[in-house]
Amino acid sequence: MCILDESDSLTREAQQALRRTMENYTATCRFVLLANYSSKIIEPIQSRCAIFRFKPLADAEVTKIVERVAEAENLTVTEKARQALVEVSEGDCRKLENVLQSCAVLSLNITDDLIYEVASVARPKEIKEVIALAFSNEFVKARDKLLEAMLAHGLSGLDIIKQLQKELLDSGIEPKKKLVLIEKCGEIEFRMSEGADEFVQLEALVSQIALAGIKD
């Protein structure tokens, strides 16, 4: 059996070579390809495979894993830390265990502060505060708060966009305005991926949230 992890990172040329290898040895070998994005695997390989998709773990399942690891490794994990791990991992067991391992190197007493520091993500509370300030037409304060969170946690613009998008979805903003802002998140994320200045684009997004907060 041949197991290829992160196979979606292979170039198209490498995948074409893999395809020929699979054809030559299909009678004596089984190939298992692990990928985050199946769309990046060329069609000739996909057609030769049975595709299995795995959804993110439920919060309860993530909590059980945290408890099992904590017991096995003699870790003390606070209740707030468990909630933070659920939020940070987003149902990804590998990410969960990597964060836990990194935290355990620093301390056997795992707290939510340690988790957010190691995972390099802003607290949901901070992002919610940015949205609330912008929606209350406090553009300058919201922009400064966002910059402060970015610098404090060492986040990239794309990291911030993902967190803003998540908190906007869970916010109590009017549905129609929420849809417009989610669309803006996608647009600005695309601009960043094309090389646009991160801070300018985030300012633009904060301004859109501020505009949405102005009553018609």
pLDDT of residue 75: 85
3-class state of residue 2 by DSSP? strand
The stretch 149-171 carries a mean pLDDT of: 81
Q: How far apart are CA 53 and CA 48, in angstroms?
A: 16
Q: Where in the chain is the domain with CATH 1.10.8.60?
A: 59-119
Give the tens place of pLDDT for each residue, 58-104.
888 888 988 888 888 888 888 888 888 888 888 888 888 888 888 88
Closest residue by Cα to residue 115 from 93, 91, 98: 98
Residue 138 scores a pLDDT above 60: yes
Q: How confident is the model at residue 215 (pLDDT cuts 50, 70, 90)?
A: low
Q: How is domain 124-213 classified at the CATH fold level?
A: Zinc Finger, Delta Prime; domain 3 (1.20.272)
H/E/C letters for each residue in 53-116? CCCCCCHHHHHHHHHHHHHHCCCEECHHHHHHHHHHHCCCHHHHHHHHHHHHHHCCEECHHHHH
Rg (CA), the chain: 21
pLDDT of residue 96: 87
Q: Which amino acid is at 65?
A: I
pLDDT of residue 216: 56
pLDDT of residue 123: 77
Q: Is CATH 1.10.1040.10 the classification given to domain 59-119?
A: no
Q: Mark 116-148 as b/e (b = at least 16 C-beta within 10 Å).
A: bbbbebbbbebbbbbbbbbbeebbeebbebbbe
- Residue 10: partners with Cβ closer than 8 Å, 6 or more residues away: 4, 18
Picking from 2-16, 68-82, 98-112, 144-158, which range would have the lowest pLDDT averaged per residue? 144-158
Residue 162 scores a pLDDT above 80: yes
Closest residue by Cα to residue 55 from 88, 90, 85: 90
Mean pLDDT of the residues in the chain: 85
Give the tens place of pLDDT for each residue, 166-210.
888 888 888 888 888 888 888 988 888 888 888 888 888 888 888
Residue 18 scores a pLDDT above 60: yes
pLDDT of residue 199: 86
pLDDT of residue 54: 83
Q: Give the percent of the chain with pLDDT over 90.
A: 1
Structure tokens that stand for 106 in this block: 């620093």
